């Protein structure tokens, strides 16, 4: 059953119930009003601080967009990219693409113009939905994406090279397209990347999307009465697939555009949220704000908040100890997943296993996991090897990249590239990664991209970028820089000034002047650097209950 049928069912059963709420706190904060008061004051004006749609409106919007796409020849086999910040239009557009049988292509809103061009061309996208934040980037590459015939703009002041989404969809029929969609048919392309930093296009089927909803719901028991707070970007499999667990049963979702602790607690309070998925830095920020006295949990109605879970990066056990100090009645879970395994849930801790915090957990619902050596045979219990998973959400392939697909998919098993070990109770612990990708605040940072950029600096002879442990972000990027003779007076400030041309999240957080070690074949010996500057990859020991 395609996941679009769940949307149609929710619209039929719960048509007038609220499906999605979008909250943008910054403007409201200036007015000093409650969210609902602000909505009344702003009635008829755009943008509103708080917007909402019912399940029927959600389905109607998806059907309108689907019928528009079909009228333009976008059908099975075609691709439609989405380049939006989190907003109320994001998910209806996503489902509208799926209803046509075409393939939806969510894109990272952090991408530079060059990365946008690369991903649109790699995925062979035929159309693009985008927002005002991306006008300049798209303007600079509009002649380099010839296949993207249709460009639909969501917002005011539509650029000349696009059509305004609201204007061209409003008169489209709200009837669902009569298109048969099978589970094994292609549904979505998500982007990942290896250590080279060049994104791979990950192809998933409709069956894969549905499996993520079922797995998530089995793990966390969402009901119609639950309300899910979504803070991470919707282009990411983690955010959307966690929401799918509530979507499966018609539960309300809240899109919060902001990560300040007081905004999160206020959203939980005013929207009566019961489930919150956080990244480690956001949980850390909430606890720090409480301990500094900047927010007081007792000032908010948090009575319905039952579950806090974390994914996207390793979770320090000490963080969860602190969390239970202030929120002792919460259930807690952590989730491990890859974009190649349709996001969260192929391995998860389980709310009943909090005594094992520090582990990523056990195989998720419908999943298998094993830890293997270089020969792909299982290692002995307690030994380190590569984590492999098998289940209903494994990708179909890397789109048009058979060699990369062959390297990670073998007999239905997906080889993660993550090094792990299993304890005597069958719980899996991550030890290190084969790849050098740095995960900082839940976002992937690709060292080669930063290294290639820094090599352009005339003062730099050689450079290596590694991750250093960080209490709040998990890791931060550090650039080890070997200067050319004659440039010994170059300072950290000089390098940081040069890095201003990089997107903020790619800029190194630390600059270290040192020799860059390379092996006889010319490869940087990053393990030596990690050992020198952070004692290898430090892993917190398992906490005891």
pLDDT tens for each residue of 455-489: 889 898 889 999 999 988 889 999 999 998 889 99
d(CA 91, CA 74): 18
Say how far apart CA 95 and CA 116 lie, in whole Å.
Answer: 22
Q: What percent of the chain has pLDDT over 70?
A: 91
Which pLDDT band, with edges at 50, 70 and 90, does 33 fall under?
low
pLDDT for the residue numbered 195 = 38
Least confident of 367-376, 405-414, 484-493, 519-528: 519-528
CATH of the domain at 41: 3.40.50.12780
Residue 180 has pLDDT above 90, yes or no: yes
Higher pLDDT, 303 or 292: 303
Same domain, residue pair 300 and 443: no
Q: Taking residues 34-48, what's their average pLDDT?
A: 52
- Does 98 lie in the same domain as 242? yes
Beta strands in 339-473 (DSSP E): 343-348, 362-363, 368-372, 385-390, 397-398, 409-410, 413-422, 428-433, 438-440, 443-445, 460-470
Residues 6+ apart with CB under 8 A from 227: 246, 251, 252, 253, 254, 271, 272, 273, 274, 275, 304
Give the pLDDT confidence score for residue 292 in this predicted structure.
Answer: 87
Tokens of 135: 């006008």
Give the three-class secondary structure for 516: coil
Q: What does the pLDDT look like over 140-154, one tens digit per residue? A: 999 999 999 999 999
Per-residue pLDDT, averaged over 300-327, amounts to 88
Paired tokens of 365: 């619902």
- CATH code at 512? 3.30.300.30
Going by C-alpha positions, the residue among 203, 205, 190 that lies closest to residue 239 is 190
Domain's final residue, options 277, 311, 345: 311
Let me know if residue 44 belongs to a domain.
Answer: yes
Q: What is the mean pLDDT of the chain?
A: 89
Query: Is residue 165 a part of any domain in this protein?
Result: yes
State yes or no: pLDDT of 89 exceeds 60: yes
**Quick one: average pLDDT of 441-448?**
79
Angle between helices 4-13 and 90-100 (to 10 degrees): 120
Domain that holds residue 171: 4-311
CA–CA gap between residue 356 and residue 303 (Å, rounded): 26
Domain assignment of residue 403, yes or no: no
Does the pLDDT at position 538 exceed 50? no
Same domain, yes or no: 187 and 45: yes
Q: Of 251, 283, 311, which one is at a domain's C-terminal end?
A: 311
In a domain, 200, yes or no: yes
Co-location of 45 and 185 in the same domain: yes
CA 194 from centre of chain: 16
Tokens of 419: 């090094």
Domain count, the chain: 2
Rg (CA), the chain: 23
Whether 93 is covered by a domain: the verdict is: yes
Q: Which residues contact 498 (CB under 8 A, 6 or more apart)?
A: 454, 457
- pLDDT of residue 197 exceeding 80: no
Residue 36 is predicted with a pLDDT of 58
Inform me whether the pLDDT recorded for 433 exceeds 70.
Answer: no
**Has residue 353 been placed in a domain?**
no
Residues 155-178 have a mean pLDDT of: 96
- What's the mean pLDDT in 281-308? 93
Return the pLDDT at 275: 97
434 band by pLDDT with thresholds 50, 70 and 90: low
- Residue 333 maps to a domain: no
Tens-digit pLDDT profile for residues 480-515: 999 988 899 999 999 999 999 998 888 999 999 999
Whether the CB-CB separation of 480 and 529 falls below 8 Å is answered with yes
Residue 393 in domain: no
DSSP 8-state secondary structure symbol assigned to residue 89:
T
The predicted model scores a pTM of 0.82
At 235, phi and psi to the nearest 5?
Answer: -70, -20
Is the per-residue pLDDT at 359 higher than 50? yes
pLDDT of residue 49: 83
The pLDDT value recorded for residue 313 is 65
The per-residue pLDDT for range 524-533, each reduced to its tens digit, is 788 889 888 8
Q: What is the pLDDT of residue 385?
A: 87
Residues 219 and 71 reside in one and the same domain = yes
Backbone angles phi and psi of 438, in degrees to 5:
-95, 130
According to the model, what pLDDT value does residue 34 have? 61
Domain end residue (candidates: 311, 334, 351)? 311
With cut-offs at 50, 70 and 90, classify the pLDDT of residue 449. confident
């Amino acid at each position: 059953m395609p996941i679009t049928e769940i949307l149609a069912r929710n619209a039929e059963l719960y048509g007038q119930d609220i499906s999605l709420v979008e909250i943008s706190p910054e403007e409201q904060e200036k007015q000093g009003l409650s969210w609902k008061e602000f909505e009344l004051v702003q009635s008829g004006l755009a943008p509103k601080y708080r917007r909402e749609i019912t399940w029927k409106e959600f389905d109607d919007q998806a059907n309108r967009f689907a019928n528009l796409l079909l009228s333009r020849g976008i059908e099975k086999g075609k691709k439609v990219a989405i380049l939006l910040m989190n907003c109320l239009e994001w998910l209806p557009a996503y489902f509208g693409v799926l209803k046509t049988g075409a393939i939806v292509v969510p894109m990272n809103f952090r991408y530079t113009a060059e990365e946008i061009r690369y991903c649109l061309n790699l995925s062979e996208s035929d159309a693009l939905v985008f927002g005002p934040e991306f006008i300049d980037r798209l303007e600079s590459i509009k002649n380099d994406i010839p296949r993207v015939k249709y460009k639909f703009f969501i917002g005011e002041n539509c650029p000349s090279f696009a059509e305004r989404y609201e204007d061209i969809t409003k008169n489209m029929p709200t009837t669902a397209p009569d298109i048969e969609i099978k589970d094994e048919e292609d549904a979505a392309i998500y982007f990942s990347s290896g250590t080279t930093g060049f994104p791979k296009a990950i192809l998933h089927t409709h069956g894969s999307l549905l499996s993520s909803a079922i797995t998530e719901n089995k793990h966390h028991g969402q009901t119609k009465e639950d309300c899910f707070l979504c803070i991470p970007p919707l282009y990411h499999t983690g955010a959307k697939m966690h929401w799918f667990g509530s979507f499966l049963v018609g539960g309300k979702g809240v899109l919060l555009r902001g990560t300040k602790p007081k905004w999160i607690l206020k959203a939980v309070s005013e929207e009566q949220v019961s489930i919150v998925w956080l990244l480690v830095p956001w949980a850390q920020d909430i606890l720090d704000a409480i301990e500094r006295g900047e927010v007081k949990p007792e000032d908010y109605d948090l009575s319905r908040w039952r579950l806090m879970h974390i994914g996207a990066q390793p979770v320090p056990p000490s963080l969860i100890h602190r969390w239970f100090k202030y929120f002792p009645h919460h259930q807690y879970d952590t989730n491990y997943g890859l974009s190649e395994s349709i996001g969260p849930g192929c391995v998860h801790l389980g709310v009943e296993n909090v005594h094992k915090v520090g582990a990523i957990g056990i195989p998720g619902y419908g999943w298998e996991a094993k830890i293997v050596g270089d020969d792909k045979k299982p290692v002995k219990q307690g030994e380190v090897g590569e984590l492999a998973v098998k289940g209903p959400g494994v990708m179909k392939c890397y789109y048009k990249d058979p060699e990369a697909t062959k390297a990670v998919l073998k007999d239905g098993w997906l080889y993660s590239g993550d090094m792990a070990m299993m304890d005597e109770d069958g719980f899996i612990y991550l030890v290190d990664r084969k790849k050098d990708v740095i995960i900082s605040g839940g976002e992937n940072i690709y060292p080669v991209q930063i290294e290639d950029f820094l090599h352009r600096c005339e003062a730099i002879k050689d450079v290596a970028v590694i991750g250093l442990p960080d209490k709040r972000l998990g890791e931060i990027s550090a650039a080890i820089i070997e200067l050319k003779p004659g440039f010994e007076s170059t300072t950290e400030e000089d390098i940081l000034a040069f890095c201003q041309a990089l997107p903020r999240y790619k800029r190194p957080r630390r600059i270290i002047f040192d020799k860059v070690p390379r092996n006889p074949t010319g490869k940087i010996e990053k393990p030596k650097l990690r050992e020198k500057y952070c004692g290898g990859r430090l892993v917190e020991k398992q906490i005891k209950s």
